[in-house]
Structure 1
Amino acid sequence: MQRFPSEVETVLREAGWSDGRQVHDVVEETIRTVTERTAANGARHLAFPAAEQALLEFGALYVDQDGPGVALRRRPFAIDPAMVPPCAATLQAFGRALGVALFPLGIEGDDDAVLAIDEQGRVFSLDDGGEWFLGEDVPAALTTLVTGVQPPRVGDDGTWSTESDEAEPR
């Protein structure tokens, strides 16, 4: 079974991804760098298996895209937690609403949004407009990002609707 639609796989391969890709050196250094940061309130990022697995396969991928997508403009993004501005307190607060821990995964746009993964492997985007559910796993989230599909907005109660007609414009 194919993990990605062909257009998504092409974009990811052009960015350096391949089946079975494992970037151990990059992941270890990146996780160390990110977990050493402490927010003013004392919050820190803690890595967990879902984050480590996602970064092993997709870490250090930089997708340079710009143009129309299915519903949204396709923006560049990077799977590199070291590029994420300090956000431990923000992810900690969002994680409380979801009932899970979060770890930064990368950025979207020109530092417009923070990409984060939770302990279950679900991926979210946090920007000035709110929090958005990108997918149940990293491949689904990458498909959302590459194709410009409208993701559902996460409500204040930590839930979202997967019904496309209820998706709020991003």
Structure 2
Amino acid sequence: MTHGEDVLASAGWYQGRDVESEALSAVFRAVALVEPAPGASPWVLFPAAEQALRTFHGLRSRPVGPGHEVAPTGWVIDPVVARHAGHPLSRLAESTGSRLFPLGRTDADAILAVDEEGRLFSIDHGGQWQLGATVREGLAALAEGRAPHRIAARQWAWTLSSPNGEPLVDVIRTALVAVYVLHHRQVFSARHLRLTVTPLRGIAPVALDRTVPLPGGSLEESAVPLAAKMEALIEAEGVTTRGAELKVEVPAPRNATAPHVSVSCAVRTGHLAKVPAAVELCLAAGAGASVGRLRTAVHACFDDLARHAQRLSP
């Protein structure tokens, strides 16, 4: 056994533990005692939550030792003590795309919850955290003082040169690289690009905001036709691009769901008055994209885009 599992055993856990009647009674009390709150959804027990409660309900752990990476934390597994956490858990569930059920609390008064994939999460004043890929792993991590993984939105940006001296074409070519990377890493397959033109001077915040469908065929052959189409849109609106920011975004398709919908790439130029030809590539991902398989995919996208940016760095 690891030290964390020793602590779990000391708390009363053992292989095959099943306290079905006590766990389901606690679930009933947690659901029945929740005070109605506007906008809060009622608790719904799903298989992963039932299994976690039948295995760990009623256990209580106290911190022992200095901890490996952070101070160890004690906890109690009882959904009743976390039953009022509807709003914060609903917000976390919305970002991850996976329902949550209250599991208990830590000695530091952090909420513990399990999602439909059996992962253990906590919410405290410092933010949202994934403690483990399983409840057992997460509880052991608390007992051992293992650092949790923060669930938070991230953004990365790179500055590229404009090799062709044609700002819009260069922006579109880079955006198409992002389209390929997002598809290749199985984040999503983009269906359109979003063009915005924002004057750097004047009172209009956005002069043009249009969605342009991606044509079929090779992405490499799409840059020039897309540039021509976007230039026509700009001219039709009577917009001048001199002294303006051009941005082409690669958003998730309309049928995308959380957390994939929170991922996007954007490429812009003209945003720096001193270096108007500079091109900026940005990758953004919401909090829900910082856990599970999507987290791995987003980091792979980061590596791919970073290599592309390095080849075109000024």
Q: TM tier, shorter chain?
A: 0.7 to 0.9
Q: Deviation of residue 110 (structure 1)?
A: 3.9
Cα distance in 2 for residues equivalent to 1:130 and 1:119:
21
Does residue 148 in structure 1 map to residue 145 in structure 2?
yes
Does residue 93 in structure 1 map to residue 86 in structure 2?
no
Say which SS state the counterpart of residue 126 (structure 1) adopts: strand
Kindly provide the amino acid, as one letter, of the partner of residue 28 in structure 2.
Answer: R
Q: Deviation of residue 23 (structure 1)?
A: 0.5
Distance change in 2, residues 1:39/1:131 (3 Å): farther
Residue from 8, 31, 34 that aligns with 1:35:
31
Cα distance in 2 for residues equivalent to 1:60 and 1:84:
13
Equivalent pair of 1:133/1:160 in contact (CA under 8 Å): no
Cα distance in 2 for residues equivalent to 1:67 and 1:44:
39
Does residue 21 in structure 1 map to residue 27 in structure 2?
no
Equivalent pair of 2:11/2:60 in contact (CA under 8 Å): yes
Equivalent pair of 2:31/2:83 in contact (CA under 8 Å): no
Greater Cα radius of gyration, structure 1 or 2: 2
Cα distance in 2 for residues equivalent to 1:136 and 1:22:
20
Q: Give 1:159's aligned residue.
A: 289
Q: TM-score, with normalisation over the residues of structure 2?
A: 0.48
Regions of 4+ moved over 6 Å? none
Task: Give CA deviations for 1:8-64 in whole Å, capped at 9, x if unaligned.
Answer: 222111111111111012111111111222441142211110000001111111001
Cα distance in 1 for residues equivalent to 2:105 and 2:91:
18
Say which SS state the counterpart of residue 130 (structure 2) adopts: strand
The within-5 A match list for 1:20-99 is 20-36=16-32, 37-41=34-38, 42-84=40-82, 86-99=84-97
Q: TM-score, with normalisation over the residues of structure 1?
A: 0.85
Q: Deviation of residue 159 (structure 1)?
A: 2.7
Q: Deviation of residue 134 (structure 1)?
A: 0.7
Equivalent pair of 1:39/1:88 in contact (CA under 8 Å): no
Q: Give 2:7's aligned residue.
A: 11
Say which SS state the counterpart of residue 289 (structure 2) adopts: coil
Residue from 113, 117, 120 that aligns with 1:116:
113
Equivalent pair of 1:39/1:87 in contact (CA under 8 Å): no
State the structure with bigger RCO (CA 8 A, min sep 6), 1 or 2. Answer: 1
Say which SS state the counterpart of residue 151 (structure 2) adopts: coil
Equivalent pair of 1:73/1:148 in contact (CA under 8 Å): yes
Q: Which runs of 5+ in 2 are unaligned?
A: 154-285, 297-314
Distance change in 2, residues 1:147/1:68 (3 Å): same
Cα distance in 1 for residues equivalent to 2:52 and 2:83:
19
- The RMSD of aligned alpha carbons is 1.8
Q: Deviation of residue 104 (structure 1)?
A: 0.7
Cα distance in 2 for residues equivalent to 1:109 and 1:159:
28
Q: Which runs of 5+ in 1 are unaligned?
A: 164-170
Cα distance in 1 for residues equivalent to 2:36 and 2:108:
22
Q: Deviation of residue 65 (structure 1)?
A: 1.5
Kindly provide the amino acid, as one letter, of the partner of residue 128 in structure 1.
Answer: H
